[in-house]
Amino acid sequence: MWFDAAVTFRRTGAALAAATLLLSLAACGDDSDSGSDSGSGAGAGSDTTLTVYAAASLTQTFQAIGQEFEAAHDGVSVEFSFGGSSDLVAQLQQGAPADVFASADQANMDKLTADDLQADDPQPFATNTLEIATPPDNPAGISSFADLAGDGVKVVVCAPEVPCGAATVKAEEATGVTLSPVSEEQSVTDVLGKVTSGEADAGLVYVTDVEAAGDDVTGVPFPESADIVNTYPIVALKDSDHADLAQAFVDLVLSDQGQGILEEAGFAQP
Amino acid sequence: MLLPLVAIVARVDWAHFGSLITSESSRAAFWLSLKTSAASTALCVVFGVPMALVLARSDLPGLGALRSLVLLPLVLPPVVGGLALLYTFGRRGLLGSELDALGLQIAFTTVAVVLAQTFVALPFLVVSLEGSLRTAGQRYEVVAASLGAGPTTVFRRITLPLVLPGLLSGAVLSFARSLGEFGATITFAGSLQGRTRTLPLEIYLQRETDPDAAVALALVLVVVAVLVIGLARQTRSAL
């Protein structure tokens, strides 16, 4: 009885192991074209993968820059890990293998340099400012920052602990308007979600987020935002196995070509 | 199973443990979590007991489909559950205009937290209780009824005592599941201290600025869950 069970167990185990092996092999085989169908550059014969950790708000622009990079460097494919800057830093501090890091704010880049993980000095490559986002029909009739504090207006902001929330606190100081938000979200994506679903009357996000959301939201600029500029730094990492390529990617982001892509998305130059 | 727990304990900054878990935001999250999980568990019992009775005792057609429906939140990613709730109870959801007319706005309130937790925890109670009801069988109930006991008496004196252990473990599982709920809560209820930011949401946010606090709170969450499960086992063996 127990013997039968052991055999079955062993067989199942072997089958599982085989399946796992097959899956991981299949996954490795897919590595060459990292999901994004660039149609140029990296094909099945690519042998170098450049791993870029970048803030979630850079998703669209960096993918475009990545495609340019692949087109210019034969046999190289760029893989991205997009997420909250602090999450990415935590992963890098735990030894996650990466070649380049682009942060949504200086504070998180400082965490990285405090651990001495950078290959060189971080370079500012873009800036971003806040803008009010409302559902397309702007149901609460928001036209200024002060309107956000109006009676019954449901405002969603980023929590002060995250970069967009720190900027929000500065905006409150600059305008002298104290908000009482119904929710303090974890990221601009979460804030936008509450606005596009119509659950919130307004949210505070970046200009680039309003741009990227297209017709799903209406942007309401406010003049005080010009004084609250969030700077994005980028750096090649010390533990990179492809130091030259990593630096080349950073250079591309800083070049006119990279800056053009960023500007189109609403980012300003530092 | 144990290794990740050991890893958490090993990462705790014991020197500051007390101050980390007694900060105002931690305390607010802790009490909110306990209160909303208790409320969710109560709702699970209210809705779950009739569901389990129907699944275990009736011979309705389509019972299998009904059971799959009840179990759906078990396999649904919590974020999807949150979206479903948003599209149901949200301002622009299916019931949004009706609720608005009644002056009820649920999203971003503590009620939304309780709803989200109930949604993901309900299957645990139903499955546990249905199992007990099936195991207990209906022999005693039939005998009691033939001796002249009314349906209410049968339920109170026979069915309930027989399935109480199952009900209890179902309630405990629901409570533990509610305590850990994250995805549905953040999607449907948002995150605001004292109102909708439960312990898991607080842990998620604390990682941004203070990983030590996040680890300390994670340990608190684990300890509470273990305590609840242990307490339930004791009560169960006493029954």
Backbone phi, psi, residue A30, to 5° = -80, -15
Lowest mean pLDDT: which of A219-228, B11-20, B33-42?
A: B11-20
A interface mutation test: which of B88, B198, B208 has the most A CBs within 10 A?
B208
A154 touching B (Cβ < 8 Å): yes
Q: Mean pLDDT, chain B, as a whole number?
A: 91
Which residue stretches of chain A have pLDDT < 70?
1-46
8 A C-beta contact, residue A142 and residue A134: yes
Among candidate residues A93, A119, A99, A94, the one with its CA nearest the CA of residue A54? A99
In what side-by-side order are the strands of the sheet with A123-128? A76-83, A48-55, A100-102, A230-236, A123-128
- Looking at CATH, the fold of the domain delimited by A48-127+232-264 is given as D-Maltodextrin-Binding Protein; domain 2 (3.40.190)
CB contact under 8 A, B192 and A182: yes
Residue A4 confidence (pLDDT): 46
- Which carries the bigger pLDDT value, residue B105 or residue A195? A195
Q: Which amino acid is at A250?
A: V
Residues from chain B contacting residue A182 (CB–CB below 8 Å): 108, 190, 192
Chain A: closest CA distance from residue B190 (Å): 5
A110 touching B (Cβ < 8 Å): no
Percent of chain B residues topping a pLDDT of 90: 58
Q: How far is CA A249 from the centre of its chain?
A: 17
Q: May I ask the CATH class of domain A128-229?
A: alpha beta
Percent of chain B residues topping a pLDDT of 70: 100
Number of H helices, E strands in chain B: 13, 0
Distance CA B130, CA A64 (A): 54
- B84 to chain A: nearest residue by CA? A197
Number of inter-chain CB pairs under 8 A, A vs B: 57
Give yes or no for residue B214 having a pLDDT over 50: yes
Q: Which amino acid is at B204?
A: Y
A48-127+232-264 and A128-229 agree in CATH topology: yes
Distance CA B50, CA B65 (A): 17
Residue B5 confidence (pLDDT): 85
8 A C-beta contact, residue B191 and residue A183: yes
Residue A76 DSSP SS3? strand
Among candidate residues A77, A83, A72, A62, the one with its CA nearest the CA of residue A30? A77
Q: What is the pLDDT of residues B44-70, one digit of tens each?
A: 999 999 999 999 988 888 898 999 999
DSSP states of A77-120:
EEEEEEE-HHHHHHHHHTT---SEEE-SSHHHHHHHHHTT-BSS
Q: What is the pLDDT of residues B142-194, one digit of tens each?
A: 999 999 989 899 988 988 899 998 999 899 999 999 999 999 999 999 999 99
A147 touching B (Cβ < 8 Å): no
CB contact under 8 A, B191 and A159: yes
pTM for the model = 0.80
Residue B236 confidence (pLDDT): 74
Q: What is the pLDDT of residues B110-127, one digit of tens each?
A: 999 999 999 999 999 999
CB contact under 8 A, A199 and B191: no
Give domain limits for chain A.
48-127+232-264, 128-229
Asked if residue A183 belongs to a known ligand binding site, the reply is no
8 A C-beta contact, residue A240 and residue A118: no
Neighbouring CB atoms inside 10 A of A221's CB total 14
Token pair for B222: 């684990």
Residue A268 DSSP SS3? strand
Helix axes B211-238, B160-180, angle to 10 degrees: 180
